[in-house]
Amino acid sequence: MTAPLGEVIYASVKPIFKIYFIIAMGFWLARKNILTVSTCRDLSDAVVTAIMPCLIFHNIVSNLKSSDIKFIGIVFFEGTVLFAAGGLLALATYFVCKSPKRWFGGLISVGLFPNISDLPIAYLQTLSKTGSLFSVEQGNEGVAYVCIFLASQVFYQFSLGLYRLIQYDFRDQLDDPESAVASNEKTSNDAVEATAKLENQDDASLLLLAEDNRSLASSELAPKQIRSPSEGNSISNEVGSDALERLTTTGANSIASENRSIASGIHTTSSLGRVSSRQVDLRKQKSQDIKDVINEYSEFDRLRSREIEAPPMQPYDNAVAPVDVPPQELEPETESFGKKVRAYLKQMGKNFCTPNSLALISSLIIAMSPPLKALFVHTWFKMPNAPDQQPPLSFVIDITSYVGAASVPIGLLLLGATIARLKVKKVVPGFWKTVVMITACRLIILPIFGVGMTTGIANAGWFDGNTLLRFVSVLEFGLPNATALIYFTAFHTDPLSEDHLQMDCLALCLICQYCVLFITLPFLVTFTLKVSLHK
């Protein structure tokens, strides 16, 4: 029995409300400087290192079995086709719209890599909650398939090194010695100007900051621990002189961090006072924007001097970890081809040792082995139970389920925070054609292609009647870009340059896609459920 059209339409639109509400919440928190750039980076590290691996392990071990190995191969094949088709459409966009030559690699990356995990997981969890279209068990199984799609993207983007496409757009800046000299001169000038400004600054602001800290501390301390008023002047003078000395020695690149140090480094007898003052002070400041993101993530100077190489970042991006290059590797031109191949294979091996990769590999091994799986969940394989009549290692599934549930909400909050900081300074003449075409390719042409391809696969009998896998496959073809591209671009951007063409182009594309997504995705889901799956 099929569901009424109105019910299908409502079920397709309902997840969008939840997704956009969480994104809007992240947007608001970022504008209020509650989700600061550094906070988002720390949260992203937590997601990549611990939370997402728990989500992967829980869903794959609990919902996949040895007979699903065929479906895993189909998912990987579909992921390969998805990335290839997106890349070809982006290449066509580059030539048809005559896109900026300095944004070739970025445009190809926009076509290649969608937001392949958070959005489809949120959609599946909402659709399966009521049980009218998909059961809760089917929703969890769908999340496991999404994790396999994510693994395919990680393989191509990081293990095979396609993340280096963005570095290609910065090749001229990284190899230009004149820009290095100009950058150093600008840094020195900024440091001198900042020092002079700090010397002429009225001590009243620092004194007021010290008083705020002391008043916050006094509310928690006994009266005998409160400082005398005469200590306030010495505190402010000490802070001012220390800040001036540090600013003079470190230059303009540390100005932003010095502001935080001044706010948090005032000496009081209560650490609570220091933390509260720093937070209150930061939230009263102007909302952070894309320039703060660049300052936080940029490793432009070290990339130019080849002290590090571009990092194999994880899907959340926000976890940017530069890779230090040993001195003997600072001149790759002199290396033999064999050494380069060995270095590439070594780096690929390191990518397989990341938490997400280890969680995926270990969970697949357990899911494909009935005796091992029986240790974690109930299966047909007979295994002695624990005293609570549960599998011996069921507590591992409980832990990973509890921790992994935070992955998608945090990911959507970070998505909203990233969008809140997007800012376009300059628009290349005629670039609107590129924005419109790449948005149409990602959210209109690719979904149509995905529906056609999955229909052909279904008619060929590959899905074996697995409508859930077919639905997840179509859903993956209708997603916008991953905001992780923002952090890849920021990593290579010169923070002292006024020209951020690559970041401006990417910001326009992301803004346009997420403004259209609330129309295209529900339409795709409704069509798939009603026409393709006959729900």
For 251-369, where are the alpha helices, taking DSSP H only?
255-264, 271-283, 290-297, 300-304, 337-351, 355-368
pLDDT tens digit at each of 535 positions of the chain: 688 889 999 999 999 999 999 999 999 999 999 999 999 999 999 999 999 999 999 999 999 999 999 999 999 999 999 999 999 999 999 999 999 999 999 999 999 999 998 999 999 999 998 887 899 999 999 999 999 999 999 999 888 889 889 999 998 887 765 554 444 554 445 544 544 444 444 444 444 444 444 444 444 444 444 343 344 444 344 444 444 344 344 444 443 443 433 333 333 333 344 444 555 577 778 889 999 999 999 998 888 877 665 554 444 443 444 444 444 444 444 567 888 788 878 877 887 888 999 999 999 999 999 999 999 999 988 889 999 999 999 999 999 999 999 999 999 999 999 999 998 888 899 999 999 999 999 999 999 999 999 999 999 999 998 999 999 999 999 999 988 999 999 999 999 888 899 999 999 999 999 999 999 999 999 999 999 998 8
Residue type, 143: V
Q: Give a yes or no: residue 282 inside a domain.
A: yes
Domain boundary among 288, 307, 334: 288
Indicate if 32 and 135 belong to the same structural domain.
Answer: yes
Q: Give a yes or no: residue 338 inside a domain.
A: no
| Residues 438, 444: Cα–Cα separation, whole Å | 10
Q: Which of 93, 215, 110, 86 is CA-nearest to residue 165?
A: 110
Domain boundary among 288, 320, 340: 288
Helices and strands counted in the chain (H then E): 26, 2
Query: Do residues 145 and 468 lie in contact, with contact meaning Cβ atoms separated by under 8 Å?
Result: yes
DSSP secondary-structure letter at 220?
T
Domain residues for the domain of 225 are: 180-288
What was the pLDDT predicted at 353?
86
Query: Could you tell me the CATH number of the domain that includes residue 43?
Result: 1.20.1530
Q: Give a yes or no: residue 313 inside a domain.
A: no
What was the pLDDT predicted at 178?
55
What was the pLDDT predicted at 345?
83
* Long-range contact pairs involving 376-381 (C-beta distance under 8 Å, separation at least 24): 376/61, 376/62, 377/61, 377/62, 379/65
308: part of which helix (H) or strand (E)?
Answer: strand 308-309
Q: Give a yes or no: residue 341 inside a domain.
A: no
Domain count of the fold of the chain = 2
Query: Do residues 276 and 215 lie in contact, with contact meaning Cβ atoms separated by under 8 Å?
Result: no
Residue type, 61: V
Q: Give a yes or no: residue 445 inside a domain.
A: yes
Q: Give a yes or no: residue 147 inside a domain.
A: yes
What was the pLDDT predicted at 344?
79
| Residues 414, 27: Cα–Cα separation, whole Å | 8
Q: Give a yes or no: residue 456 inside a domain.
A: yes
Indicate if 429 and 450 belong to the same structural domain.
Answer: yes
Query: Which residues contact residue 72 at a Cβ distance below 8 angstroms, ignoring those fewer than 6 apart?
Result: 64, 148, 364
CA distances from 194 to 246, 298, 310 (A): 11, 21, 31
- Compute φ and ψ for 176, nearest 5 degrees: -90, 110
Q: Per the structure block, which two tokens stand in for 469?
A: 């896998």
| Residues 302, 307: Cα–Cα separation, whole Å | 5
Indicate if 51 and 162 belong to the same structural domain.
Answer: yes
Domain boundary among 266, 288, 310: 288
Query: Do residues 12 and 116 lie in contact, with contact meaning Cβ atoms separated by under 8 Å?
Result: no
| Count of residues making up the chain | 535
Residues facing 324 on adjacent strands: 308
What was the pLDDT predicted at 130?
80
Indicate if 64 and 213 belong to the same structural domain.
Answer: no
Indicate if 220 and 171 belong to the same structural domain.
Answer: no
What was the pLDDT predicted at 348?
79
Q: Give a yes or no: residue 492 inside a domain.
A: yes
DSSP letter string, 68-133: GHHHHHHHHHHHHHHHHHHHHHHHHHHHHTT--GGGHHHHHHHHH-B--SHHHHHHHHHHHHH-SS
Indicate if 163 and 206 belong to the same structural domain.
Answer: no
Indicate if 416 and 443 belong to the same structural domain.
Answer: yes
Indicate if 117 and 185 belong to the same structural domain.
Answer: no
Instruction: Please give the angle made by the CA atoms of 175, 320 and 43, to the nearest 5 degrees.
Output: 155
- Compute φ and ψ for 99, nearest 5 degrees: -70, 160
Neighbours of 185 (CB within 10 A): 11
Q: Which of 48, 54, 119, 50 is CA-nearest to residue 404?
A: 54
| Residues 521, 532: Cα–Cα separation, whole Å | 15
Indicate if 493 and 386 belong to the same structural domain.
Answer: yes
What was the pLDDT predicted at 498?
85
Indicate if 166 and 224 belong to the same structural domain.
Answer: no
What was the pLDDT predicted at 309?
59
CA distances from 372 to 57, 138, 376, 391, 392 (A): 13, 22, 7, 11, 11
Indicate if 438 and 477 belong to the same structural domain.
Answer: yes
Q: Which of 72, 84, 77, 21 is CA-nearest to residue 363?
A: 72
Indicate if 167 and 185 belong to the same structural domain.
Answer: no
Q: Per the structure block, which two tokens stand in for 299?
A: 């490793």
324: part of which helix (H) or strand (E)?
Answer: strand 323-324
Query: Which residues contact residue 137 at a Cβ distance below 8 angstroms, ignoring those fewer than 6 apart?
Result: 63
